[in-house]
Structure 1
Amino acid sequence: MTAPYLSLKPLVPWRQLPRPIPWEQVFGRRAPLELEIGCGNGEVLARRAGERPEANLVGLDLDWVSARRALRRINLAGLDNAKVVQAEAALGLERLFTPQSLAGVWCLFPRPWPKPSDARHRLFSTRFLHLLNSRLAPQAACRLLTDHEPFADWVMGQVPGSGLEAVRREVPPTVDSKYERKWRGQGQRVFFELILSQRGHVAWPNPEEPVLHYPRFDELDPAALTTWEDWGEISVLCKDVLRDQEAGRALMRLVVLEDDLEQAFYVEVMPRPQGGYLVRPAPGCGVLPSLGVQRALEVTAQRLSAG
């Protein structure tokens, strides 16, 4: 069982904050900002934060169990210059950091997804490298370390045209992380390091987040309270419906696919005091406002309307 975190203070509630994140306010000071992509259990993040008190460090990980472990390490070390964000890597880079704001990035042993059929899941695709470039400060670099040589080869093939300069070398064990110890225990003595340095800025502005408008309609068609799919440039899928017939309201679980962003959340279909119905994201879902979410609300209202 994972030991509990001691405090949530180092966890950044990014869905409730203005985006991109005002990091100077979050840390309470102006300092070089560095990012670890896939901070895992937080041991390297906490160690580095202790060694670099002059820097503000952010650890990014999608997995809550990993984030919890990282929080505990930061708590136990009493660090004020390390924070944790639970988010997917590309989404976090795009929405939480301003262009040219990162003084350094590191990523240790990302999952290589070795099967060709799984290549779409790999980090450090050409598109991701463009995004990474845009967030690195001039001349700043990202250190990527992997145990898997074919993955290092693949990343090198993604670099041309990204505005990044790649230097690759074979290195001995150097970081003393969980996965490095695992590979060492299995006999591996050589790892593959890529230093990806910013040599020409690639523009990638922070996406605008629209103010959502909640559609209204006059009459509800009860037969339309069912699952459905609406495929297109922005796809909206209704996966489940929960209806409270007595209260005259319903919850619909939607999945919205737009560009590289996938969001799953509930929308609430509720009667209005002045008559008719309103469709809105259910409170507490933490949905990111986007054109896809706006379209999902409108498509839902159109399907439910008896008019």
Structure 2
Amino acid sequence: MKGQQDFISPLVNPFDIERPIDWSRQFPKRGPLELEIGFGLGEVMLQSAQERPDVNFIGIEQNWERLYKTLKARFEKRAEQNEEEFLNNIKILRIDARVALERLFEEQSINKVITLFPCPWPKKSHVKHRLFSHNFLKLLNSRLEPEGSAELVTDDEKFFKWVLQESPATGFSRTTEEIAAQFNTKFERKWQEEGQETFYKITFHKKDHISVPIKKDVEMKSYRLKSFDPQKLQLKDEKGNVCVIFKDTLYDSDKNVMMIYAMVTEGHLFQHLRIVIAKTKDFWHIGRADGQTLFPTNGIAKAIKRVYECAKESS
């Protein structure tokens, strides 16, 4: 059991913790905070954490296989070293980097950010998915400490030039350089094998602070109706800045309970939501179903209210 606990100990569940996170309480000792976005197999993060034990590292990665392999590599290194404090300065988040910066980090709390070989999303229709847009850089600026820095390394020259175009008026000065392979990551080795020898690096130096307030949780309301006809319910999707798409409904006539499955999108935050309509003695109650891991946002509140409005029309 102790081995299992140590294996998963770097994982931080962003849904089961007070937000924004007090990162000083997540590590055994205080130290500068460095963030790696998209750490892949964790080669750079593990090496950095080993070489600089007085720095606390947070890694963000959404791919479960890469995340597991990083946890495994850390666990094996700790077993070889057999020291309690060895590589205990690492925490890991499985979440979109934009959402993490918006909700989990206080302003001016990170010393350094590093991003190696992010997906360039080369198609014009995919531009909205790219990291290091103008708005992302302002968000990054707000979370960096005074005189903090962010480093981006890419294999894609077009993406490199696009980021430079996005960077004015984001509170950064910047330096650029062409570099040789030096990180020994999976993707760097891949580009080398395909014949690429030159990579592109941008270092953003924070000069002016740009405040981007933390996105906070929204209080979730529940509703009730005196009457409701499940057979007449017609759910209406909502499009716009907040997008609510209703997918499936399941009604148990014996228990007078209906479960509604919806998808809610707000910017880069995509969430699955279950809404329950359940009858008690005198009323039908409408609200978020129990047992869900999600951020209580305006979009979630709007989806629940939309179900209430549609249910009211059917009563």
- Normalising by structure 2, we get a TM-score of 0.91
- SS of the equivalent of 2:200 reads strand
Alignment of 1:54-93 (within 5 A): 54-78=54-78, 79-93=87-101
Gaps of 5+ in 2: 79-86
Once the two structures are overlaid, the 10-residue window that deviates more, 222-231 or 208-217, is 222-231
Hey, what's the Cα distance between the residues in 2 that align with 1:44 and 1:29?
A: 21
Which segment is superposed worse, 260-269 or 167-176? 260-269
Aligned equivalent of 1:206: 214
* CA displacement, residues 172-194 of structure 1 (integer Å, 9 cap, x when unaligned): 11111110111111111111111
The number of equivalent residue pairs is: 303
Report SS of the residue matched to 1:106. Answer: strand
Distance 2:56 2:232 in 1: 51
Q: Is the 8 A contact 2:20 2:105 kept in 1?
A: yes
Q: Deviations over 1:54-106 (max 9, x none)?
A: 01101001222222222222222232100110000100111111101111100
Q: What amino acid sits opposite 2:68 in the alignment?
A: R
Q: Which residue of 2 aligns with 1:23?
A: 23
Distance between the aligned counterparts of 1:224 and 1:7, measured in 2? Answer: 51
1 CA distance for matches of 2:91 and 2:50? Answer: 13
- Single out whichever of 286-295 and 223-232 deviates more from structure 2: 223-232
C-alpha deviation, 1:34, in angstroms: 0.6
Residue 129 (structure 1) aligns with: 137
Indicate conservation of the 8 Å contact 1:218/1:276, yes or no: yes
Query: Per the alignment, do residues 242 and 127 of structure 1 end up closer, same or farther by CA in structure 2, a change over 3 Å counting?
Result: same
Provide the rounded CA distance (Å) in 1 between the counterparts of 2:200 and 2:262.
41
Does the alignment pair 1:288 with 2:271? no
Range that drifts further, 4-13 or 233-242: 4-13
- Tell me which of 245, 249, 253 is aligned to 2:253: 245
Match of 1:279 among 286, 296, 300: 286
Query: Deviating runs (4+, > 6 A) in structure 1?
Result: none
Residue 259 of structure 1, CA deviation: 4.2
Q: In 2, Cα distance between the equivalents of 1:52 and 1:66? A: 23
Mapping 1:25-40, distance limit 5 Å: 25-40=25-40
Provide structure 1 residue ranges, at least 5 long, that are not aligned to the other structure.
none
TM-score by length of 1: 0.93
- Could you say if the C-alpha distance between residues 55 and 240 of structure 1 is closer, same or farther in structure 2, counting changes exceeding 3 Å? same
In 1, the alpha carbon distance for the partners of 2:5 and 2:36 equals 19
Cα RMSD over matched residues?
Answer: 1.8
Provide the C-alpha distance between the structure 2 equivalents of 1:231 and 1:177, rounded to a whole number of angstroms. Answer: 40
**Which of the residues 168, 179, 185 maps onto 2:176?**
168
User: Aligned partners of 1:258 and 1:118: how far apart in 2?
Assistant: 17
How far apart are the structure 2 equivalents of 1:5 and 1:149?
42
Q: Map of 1:134-283 to 2, 5 A cutoff? A: 134-225=142-233, 228-272=236-280, 274-283=281-290
Q: Does structure 2 conserve the Cα–Cα contact (< 8 Å) formed by 1:171 and 1:190?
A: yes
3-state SS of the aligned residue for 2:209?
coil
Q: Quick one: which amino acid aligns to residue 302 of structure 1?
A: E
* 8 Å Cα contact 1:164/1:200 also seen in 2: yes
Deviation of the 1:157 alpha carbon: 0.5
- Which deviates more from structure 2 when the two are superposed, residues 70-79 or residues 92-101? 70-79
Shift of 1:39: 1.2
Mapped to 1, the partners of 2:208 and 2:52 lie a distance apart of 27
CA distance in 2, matches of 1:180, 1:76: 23
Amino acid at match of 1:68: Y
Deviations 1:19-61 (Å, cap 9, x if unpaired)? 0111111113221111000112222211111111001101001
Is the 1:227–1:239 contact (alpha carbons within 8 Å) kept by the matching residues of 2? no
